[in-house]
Amino acid sequence: MSVPKYSTACCFFSSQFTCLFVFFIIVAGTTTPCLAKIITNNTTRRHRQVSVDYYARTCPNVEQLVGSVTNQQFKESPVSGPATINLFFHDCFVEGCDGSILIASKQGSRELAEKDAEVTRELRVEGFETVMKAKEAVERKCPGVVSCADILAIAARDYVHLVGGPYYQVKKGRWDGRISMASRVEPNIPHANYTVDQLIKLFNSKGLTIQDMVALSGAHSIGFAHCKHFVKRLYNYKGNGQPDPNVDPKLLNALRMYCPNYGGNLDIVAPFDATTPFVFDQAYYGNLQKKMGLLASDQALVLDPRTKPLVQEFANDKNKFFQAFAAAMDRLSLVGVKRGKKHGEKRRDCSMHA
């Protein structure tokens, strides 16, 4: 095993109130303003919905523009793939898919931004770089139109496909968020030692099902984790000086070589998928069945009766995994979406509020 090192409508209430307002004018007999109101209402509705062709008129080439950047980045630095997919997941779980993770902390401000939370600081820079470069490319052609949140969602999809995963359509129309707080990160990002109960609870709280959770965990088919996330499993799992019995002995030995119990290099990472670390495939699930999951939270999926049948299904059928993953990414991409000026903004620079 090689262990590489790397330095719909518009707001429901307002649409209801608008309807009441229109109705009132009709009763009063003034038809012209009424018509104007209906037109305004329809326009608002169209603009506020997320849809695949949201930018059809305002920035029809947005996907190609982002695609030119993700293709290039992937060639130059393949770790941009896992980095951006993970960045997207973290963005969506904290405050919703609203680009809040991209905001830089303000100097002198009392509260740090999400980006500077301990967990987020661990994310690779390549994900942030991808979004910044893609935003620059998009701004040159369509200034002030496309949100950073949409760019991140498109880039994550591009990379899933570039590493061999499914291609799926990305709905667009997210606005960027106005809130980015480091303190919101910790309670919203799952830990490597979470139980299945804790995982299910957290994913359910985002409107995602058990199937979504197991399918999305398949993103660990690619990418790497630092030793600190699994070192306890290798030496002292339950505080009794013994390793986790659910780690394959060969994998255990290999991981111990790179991740000593004390004093190891903090930058060392190990691949999630020891068999095909650079290909997005169903091998991740097969590995779980062979006790070759890297994190306790990954391995737990094959030990719980609620998730085990899904692990088996995805391990045996790549198409089912791909379909479930694409559907789950679509649902993930809609978590906490902001629409309209009240809750959102359109940033020119993804790292700064508008």
How many residues are listed for the chain in this entry? 354
* Rounded Cα gap, residues 83 and 225, in angstroms: 11
Q: Which is nearer to ligand HEM, 126 or 176 (CB)?
A: 126
Query: Does residue 144 come out as left (phi exceeding 0), alpha (psi in the -120 to 50 range) or beta?
Result: left
85 binds ligand HEM (CB under 6 A): yes
- 91 in a labelled binding site: yes
Smallest Cα–Cα separation from 173: which of 137, 146, 211, 195? 146
Locate 218 and state its tokens: 């398949």
- Is 220 marked as binding a ligand? yes
φ, ψ for residue 272, nearest 5 deg: -65, -45
Distances (CA, A) of 120 to 86, 185, 198, 232: 10, 8, 20, 21
Residue 90 a catalytic site member: yes
- Any contact of residue 122 with ligand HEM (CB under 6 A)? yes
Dist CA 104 CA 6 (whole Å): 24
Contact call for residue 190 and ligand HEM (CB under 6 A): yes
By C-beta, is 277 or 286 nearer to ligand HEM?
Answer: 277
199 interacts with ligand HEM by CB under 6 A: yes
> Is residue 194 within the footprint of ligand HEM (CB under 6 A)?
yes
Piece of 78-86, 137-145, 277-285, 306-314 that binds ligand HEM (CB under 6 A): 78-86
Helices then strands (H, E): number in the chain? 15, 4
Lookup result for tokens 């095993």: 1
100 annotated ligand binder: yes
Distance in angstroms (rounded) separating the CA atoms of residues 14 and 205: 26
Residues in contact with ligand HEM, counted by CB under 6 A, come to a total of 25
267 known member of a binding site: no
User: What is the radius of gyration, based on Cα positions, of the chain?
Assistant: 22
Segment near ligand HEM (CB under 6 A), from 30-38, 105-113, 217-225, 246-254? Answer: 217-225
Contact between 86 and ligand HEM by CB under 6 A: the answer reads yes
Q: Residue 342 CB, nearest distance to ligand HEM (Å)?
A: 29
Question: Which residues contact residue 211 at a Cβ distance below 8 angstroms, ignoring those fewer than 6 apart?
Answer: 310, 324, 328
Can you tell me which of 54, 55, 74, 89 binds ligand HEM, judged by CB under 6 A?
89
Taking CB under 6 A as the criterion, the residue among 124, 174, 233, 291 binding ligand HEM is 124
CB of 82 to ligand HEM, least distance (A): 4
Residues forming contacts to ligand HEM in the complex (CB under 6 A) are 79, 82-83, 85-86, 89, 122, 124, 190-192, 194, 199, 216-217, 219-220, 222-226, 229, 295, 297
Q: Extract the annotated binding site for heme b.
A: 220
User: Which residue numbers belong to the known binding site?
Assistant: 91, 94, 96, 98, 100, 114, 190, 220, 273, 276, 281
